[in-house]
Amino acid sequence: RKVVKFCMENKKILELRQEMTLKEKIGQLTQITGEHYVGKIDNEMVETGPGYSQQLLEGDTLYTIGSIIGVSSAKITNLIQSEYLKKSRLKIPLLFMHDAIHGYKTIFPIPLGLSCTWDENILRDVAAYTASELRASGIHVNFSPMVDLVRDSRWGRVMESFGEDHLLSGNLGGAMINGYQKDAEGKISQDGVAACLKHFAAYGAGIGGKDYNTVDMSMREFFDYYGKPYEIALKEKPKFVMSSFNTFNGIPVTASKEMMKDILRDKYQFDDIVISDWGAVSELQNHRVAQDGREAAELALTAGIDIEMVSTLYLENYQQILEKNPALLHEIDAAVLKILQLKNELGMFENPYVDEDLEETVILNQKSLQFAKEAAKKSCVLLKNDSLLPISKEYKKILVVGPFANTQELLGNWQCKGRFDDVVALSEGMRLVDESLELSAYETLEDCPKDELEKCDYIVAAIGEHWELSGEGHSSVNIELDKQQQQLIKDIKKTDKPYACVCFSGRPLALQDIIDDIPALLWCWYPGTQAGIAIAELLTGKDTPSGKLTMSFPRYSSQVPIYYNEYSSGRPANESSYSSRYQDCEVGPLFSFGHGLTYTNTEYSNFKISGHKITEGQDIKISFQVKNPSEYEYSEIAILYIEDLVSKAVRPIREMKKYQVVTVPANQTVTVELVITLDDLHYLNGSLQQSVEPGEFKIYINDLEHSVFTIEH
């Protein structure tokens, strides 16, 4: 991978900053949409929020702006750049930023699906392919990854998350940052983009699962859980962090010095660029913590928001703000320097344009499509299987039925520039993967001619939740499978044919009412461009599913929030009345975090522990063998949990501490070794101090209790 050389010494950058007027500096801290320079942009603009007045952008002000959101393609970005540079006094090129959340034109599974691979290598590569496509289209910064911890699948944005565990979310986010930036020698490479970690912080904890809603939690909960994924991912040095829309302890994060300075900068040591979310500076007025635009801008600037996204209150009010608070100039200068340094690191002063021939070779190329198929396969989770999958070879006449049988709309929300025309539908994938099948596919059973239904050997029900029902601004009170599709499953059952269900969705759905009628269930999330082929390879047994859930499935809509690492209760959940449970629902999720079946009949054995005591400098190693007696080579996900038997402050019933994704060749056994150190056992005690306490811990590997160890001081 080629490294971009600095084209200017830092000294030159400082000189450039010296030459800038105050207005030119504030322009660098402002991000707007692209049509101002080239007029209306058909089929190119992606808007992800309401419009804001950008009234002061006349005359030379427009040519001080630092970055553009929402347009892509080499042609358009080059055009905007050249129009801009013609009139910009200091010829500081524009940065282009975009949301390629799970791919740009080659679309990979939604992040929640990707997280079910548990595989950092896969997430890194997804990000790397995405970065190459973005950079070839003139984009420099990607607003990804999102590591907001989630426990409530009513929130539409769980699809963009990595699920309910903080360690896994942090690690997968870190892997994506690496993949986007493709850092070599600490610099973004020529086909990499700057990553933007978002949304800082705790945006996934909005009360009631409503988007943009208030967050209120203890600092202990924040530092041990909701803050952790950012803390971990920040170690991979994303160039940007985006602040979140929500309030935290009564203050909108966009105006919170505590969040943005004390925690993000001082505690988590982030020293690069902070950008607001879309319109969030202006929205401080809606939160009613600012009485006008000037106050909103001042609050955000003071909190340390470097770039204002889409609204233009910094530009409209900077003179008054600085008159009142001249010390802010120092922070403005620091922010401008970071932005100029990034532009320099990307080589933009040397060449602000992108080669327009590149897109053709980079976008949707065979390698990325092949990888999209692999990623899609590994993100599927086999939730249930009464020996009905894979589809037996003796069944040749297959009927695929349901709203997802023929549709190409399998990209999921945040599909960026992905086109449905490029997507392989489920029925098409089945035809491509096994030409010997006599396959027919209909949206409903009524559409299927009677004799065809009678003659068919096996039915695949293709069900789910439409992609537009999850994503930003798409929270729901009802997360159950719709009644029509429940009826479809009951009707299929009545045919007495063998059948299985394939389900698409952007969130865990609540399936208690229908699960007994589903003998086999493959959860595919939204798999992206190669959806149909990937799923067909799993259904026909060319490959085995191997994903495991990263988010618990509730039984009913009202059983959320639900997550595996709940704290121990004084009255632990069980069937008795006076226990921590709902009276009208079984205890626990329908499918829990970590659940996922394969076709392999894998066996775990030979557990060993290197010692039973952990001290400073003395770790313990836990090893075991994983035997794969099948013909499939696949990725086994081994998960280690601990249970802290007694502690001063309450601990979760179980905590995932380690996991490993191991390739197990067909008919072979591999040994897995996981190490637990004292550091792994730290937690914030009741006085908000990091502590490890002497005592006993149980270890579980997946669902099996395995051994006990103690911490000694």
- In the complex with ligand BGC, the residue whose CB is nearer, 133 or 472, is 472
With CB under 6 A as the contact rule, the residue among 37, 143, 270, 371 that binds ligand BGC is 143
Spatial separation of the C-alpha atoms in residues 675 and 304, rounded to whole Å? 39
Site pattern 168..207 for ligand BGC (x: CB under 6 A): ------------------------------x---------
- In the complex with ligand BGC, the residue whose CB is nearer, 107 or 661, is 107
Name residue, tokens 């889409």: 310
- In the complex with ligand BGC, the residue whose CB is nearer, 234 or 459, is 234
- Shortest distance (Å) from residue 89 CB to ligand BGC: 28
Residues of 387-424 as b/e, b for ≥16 C-beta within 10 angstroms?
ebbbbeeebeebbbbbbbbbbbbbbbbbbbbbeeebbb
Spatial separation of the C-alpha atoms in residues 2 and 8, rounded to whole Å? 18
Of 189, 84, 64, 77, the closest CA to residue 127 belongs to 189
- Shortest distance (Å) from residue 277 CB to ligand BGC: 5
Site pattern 46..85 for ligand BGC (x: CB under 6 A): --xx------------------------------------
- Shortest distance (Å) from residue 181 CB to ligand BGC: 17
Show contacts with ligand BGC in window 391-410 (CB under 6 A): none
Of 220, 134, 229, the closest CA to residue 179 belongs to 134
Q: 611 with 657: CB under 8 angstroms?
A: no
- In the complex with ligand BGC, the residue whose CB is nearer, 275 or 590, is 275
- In the complex with ligand BGC, the residue whose CB is nearer, 46 or 585, is 46
- In the complex with ligand BGC, the residue whose CB is nearer, 224 or 472, is 472
Residue 568 CB neighbour total at 10 angstroms: 14
- Shortest distance (Å) from residue 99 CB to ligand BGC: 5
**Residue 13 tokens, joined:** 């950058």
SS3 state of residue 181: helix
- Shortest distance (Å) from residue 279 CB to ligand BGC: 8
Beta bridge partners of 201: none
- Shortest distance (Å) from residue 307 CB to ligand BGC: 12
- Shortest distance (Å) from residue 411 CB to ligand BGC: 17
278 makes contact with ligand BGC (CB under 6 A)? yes
- In the complex with ligand BGC, the residue whose CB is nearer, 286 or 370, is 286
Spatial separation of the C-alpha atoms in residues 354 and 77, rounded to whole Å? 8
- In the complex with ligand BGC, the residue whose CB is nearer, 47 or 262, is 47
- Shortest distance (Å) from residue 30 CB to ligand BGC: 15
Site pattern 13..42 for ligand BGC (x: CB under 6 A): ------------------------------
First to last CA, the chain: 47
- In the complex with ligand BGC, the residue whose CB is nearer, 60 or 468, is 468
- In the complex with ligand BGC, the residue whose CB is nearer, 196 or 348, is 196
Of 464, 468, 463, 391, the closest CA to residue 434 belongs to 391
277 makes contact with ligand BGC (CB under 6 A)? yes
Residues contacting ligand BGC: total by CB under 6 A: 8
- Shortest distance (Å) from residue 48 CB to ligand BGC: 3
Show contacts with ligand BGC in window 457-476 (CB under 6 A): 472
The gap from C-alpha 544 to its chain's centroid, in whole angstroms, comes to 24
- Shortest distance (Å) from residue 645 CB to ligand BGC: 41
- In the complex with ligand BGC, the residue whose CB is nearer, 111 or 498, is 111
- Shortest distance (Å) from residue 147 CB to ligand BGC: 12
Q: In sequence order, which residues have a C-beta less than 8 Å from that of residue 530 and are 6 or more positions away?
A: 369, 372, 373, 376, 423, 424
| Segment (H or E) for 28 | helix 22-28
SS3 state of residue 368: helix
224 makes contact with ligand BGC (CB under 6 A)? no
Burial (CB < 10 A; 0-12, 13-18, 19+), residue 713, is: exposed
- Kindly state the greatest CA–CA separation across the chain: 82
- Shortest distance (Å) from residue 695 CB to ligand BGC: 41
CA distances from 500 to 22, 41, 459 (A): 64, 45, 7
Q: In sequence order, which residues have a C-beta less than 8 Å from that of residue 132 and are 6 or more positions away?
A: 191, 362, 368
Residues of 425-443 as b/e, b for ≥16 C-beta within 10 angstroms?
bbbbbbbebbeebebbbbb
- In the complex with ligand BGC, the residue whose CB is nearer, 416 or 439, is 416
Spatial separation of the C-alpha atoms in residues 702 and 676, rounded to whole Å? 16
Q: Which amino acid is at 392?
A: S
Spatial separation of the C-alpha atoms in residues 589 and 695, rounded to whole Å? 30
- Shortest distance (Å) from residue 198 CB to ligand BGC: 6
- Any alpha helices (H) in 468-558, and if so which ranges? 483-494, 531-539
Q: 34 with 71: CB under 8 angstroms?
A: yes
DSSP 95: E
Show contacts with ligand BGC in window 354-383 (CB under 6 A): none
- Shortest distance (Å) from residue 310 CB to ligand BGC: 8
Site pattern 98..117 for ligand BGC (x: CB under 6 A): -x------------------
- In the complex with ligand BGC, the residue whose CB is nearer, 97 or 640, is 97
- In the complex with ligand BGC, the residue whose CB is nearer, 197 or 549, is 197
**Contacts with ligand BGC, residue ranges (CB under 6 A):** 48-49, 99, 143, 198, 277-278, 472
